[in-house]
Structure 1
Amino acid sequence: MSATQKENPQTREGGGSGVADENPASPERFIRLQAELVVQITDTGQLRSAALGRIAEEEHMPDDERTHARDAVQRDEAEALAYLVDPFDLVGEVPGVELVQASWSSAHTDYDPDAEEWELYEEDDER
């Protein structure tokens, strides 16, 4: 399993009225957004090639980390996927939102779309 965490220490104070604007550290200003995805790898070679390309383009990656990253991508598709998926891309263009912290990981899983454990929404029997 691979996990990467990036933080943006900058926070912007917005104008306007309301308690959240008066106190930048108030809980109303921060929202934890959680998403869970299951993807199927349809072309391992294409996935690895794209991940290796991303690693090669990374200007600020130290050589020892780059070597480790290449090795990990060659061994494991989940590692390759982790190098290509960036949570910053999910909210980068959302107006009025600044990503302050993100973490993500990818891992192999046994997926059965018919199993109860994979149901995304629980049904309320009392309706």
Structure 2
Amino acid sequence: MTSTDITGEGEPRYVRLHIELVAEITDETALKAAALEQVKHDDYMDDDERAQAVEAIELDPSGSLAHFIDPLQLLGDVPGVELAQATWESAHTEFDPENEDWELYDTDAGSGDGATEE
């Protein structure tokens, strides 16, 4: 069965991509400074959004990473695809690559290759 069979020919088909990244912050000071610069020069933020972003960066510099995530860059120039909506957040997590509980792919959620069909 193809996605065309499910939605009908010619109808838009939406795909939700779940991407999980675990990043190690190796220099919190550098990340915080870069995020503050990013926010300072963001032409799409109004003054209230900018103030909230600066406050959030000051309170929890690990949230600074979110200011560098650009969903449009993830899709790049993929032919026939247009970004419809995107949300993302950053949060502290415990990570131990030696721990067997940390699976790169959740075998219950997909085929094990990171690709799932909705």
Bin the TM-score by the shorter chain: 0.7 to 0.9
Shift of 1:115: 2.0
**Does residue 120 in structure 1 map to residue 104 in structure 2?**
yes
| CA displacement at 1:23 relative to structure 2 | 2.2
RMSD: 2.1
Distance 1:22 1:85 in 2: 32
Amino acid paired to 1:30: Y
Q: Residue 92 in 1 paired to residue 76 in 2? A: yes
Q: Unaligned regions of 5+ residues in structure 1, if any?
A: 1-17, 123-127
Which residue is 1:50 aligned to? 34
Structure 2 counterpart of 1:66: 50
Query: Does the 8 Å contact 2:39/2:53 carry over to 1?
Result: yes
Structure 2 residue 10 is the aligned partner of structure 1 residue 22 = yes
TM-score (normalised: structure 2): 0.74
Residues in 1 aligned to 2:102 and 2:96: alpha-carbon distance in whole angstroms: 7
Q: What's the counterpart of residue 34 of structure 1?
A: 18
Q: Which runs of 5+ in 2 are unaligned?
A: 108-118
For these two proteins, the number of residue pairs brought into alignment is 102
2:96 pairs with 1:108: no
**1:98 Cα shift?**
0.9
The structure in which a higher percent of residues are strand is 1
Q: Which runs of 4+ in 1 moved over 4 A?
A: 18-21
- Structure-2 residue corresponding to 1:9: none
Q: Map Cα deviations across residues 1-46 of structure 1 (whole Å, 9 max, x no partner).
A: xxxxxxxxxxxxxxxxx6654223xxxx221111111000011122
Is the Cα–Cα contact under 8 Å of residues 92 and 99 in structure 1 kept in the other structure? no
Assess if the C-alpha contact under 8 Å between 2:28 and 2:62 holds in 1.
Answer: no
